[in-house]
């Protein structure tokens, strides 16, 4: 069951009996045929569809649409964060979610450039607060079905045609 954190009322949050899910994407170029928010939109869609099919109560935190993408700075449309700012911000965000009683948190990385910062968030949540968050990359979750749904040749899925 999908419950969007930002669309529920506080008395219905029931975070103690939920799995928290945080999607972190990016705003960056995806050539001239896909929107700048492609990474975030893909991660959000995957999380929502999985949550709707789950027996568990899934609390979807607000999707974090801006990530770490300085390697896209040569292209128009980039919104990015500094690595340390992103790690600080997301550590605070996750810790505040845990303080509501959330027992578990799954972080879904929806942009390759975020991996280092998100691993830092997971490490800090554990070391500084004793919290357990699990980090996954969405493309690892669907690697077995990608060959059956892709329309491009291998090398055609990434923003620069690398995946
Ligand atoms: Zn990306």
For 121-145, the pLDDT digits (tens) are 999 999 999 999 999 999 898 888 8
Query: Residue 16 CA to chain centroid, in angstroms?
Result: 21
Instruction: Report the pLDDT value the prediction gives residue 33, as an integer from 0 to 100.
Output: 87
- Measured in Å, residue 9 CA sits from the centre of ligand 1 at 32
- CA separation (Å) from 98 to 37, 63, 114, 116, 127? 27, 16, 21, 22, 14
pTM: 0.92
Average pLDDT over residues 97-111: 97
CA of 15 to the centre of ligand 1 (A): 30
11 alpha carbon – ligand 1 mean position (Å): 36
| pLDDT > 60? residue 100 | yes
The pLDDT, as a whole number, for residue 5 is 97
Q: What is the per-residue pLDDT for 161?
A: 47
Q: What is the CATH number of domain 2-149?
A: 3.40.50.10310
Question: DSSP E strands: which ranges in 19-78?
Answer: 19-24, 58-60
- 81 Cα to the center of ligand 1, angstroms: 13
């Amino acid at each position: 069951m999908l419950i969007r954190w930002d669309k529920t009322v506080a008395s219905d949050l029931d975070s103690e009996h939920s799995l928290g899910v945080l999607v972190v994407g990016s705003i960056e170029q995806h050539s001239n045929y896909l929107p700048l928010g492609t990474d975030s939109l893909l991660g959000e869609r995957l999380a929502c569809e999985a949550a709707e099919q789950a027996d568990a109560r899934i609390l979807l935190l607000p999707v974090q649409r801006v990530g770490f993408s300085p390697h896209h700075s040569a292209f128009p449309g980039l919104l990015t964060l500094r690595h340390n700012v992103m790690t600080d911000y997301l550590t605070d965000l996750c810790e505040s979610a845990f303080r509501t009683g959330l027992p578990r948190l799954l972080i879904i990385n929806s942009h390759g450039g975020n991996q280092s910062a998100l691993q830092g968030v997971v490490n800090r949540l554990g070391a500084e607060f004793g919290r357990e968050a699990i980090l996954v990359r969405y493309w690892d979750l669907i690697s077995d079905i990608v060959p059956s749904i892709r329309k491009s040749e291998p090398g055609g899925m990434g923003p620069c045609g690398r995946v």
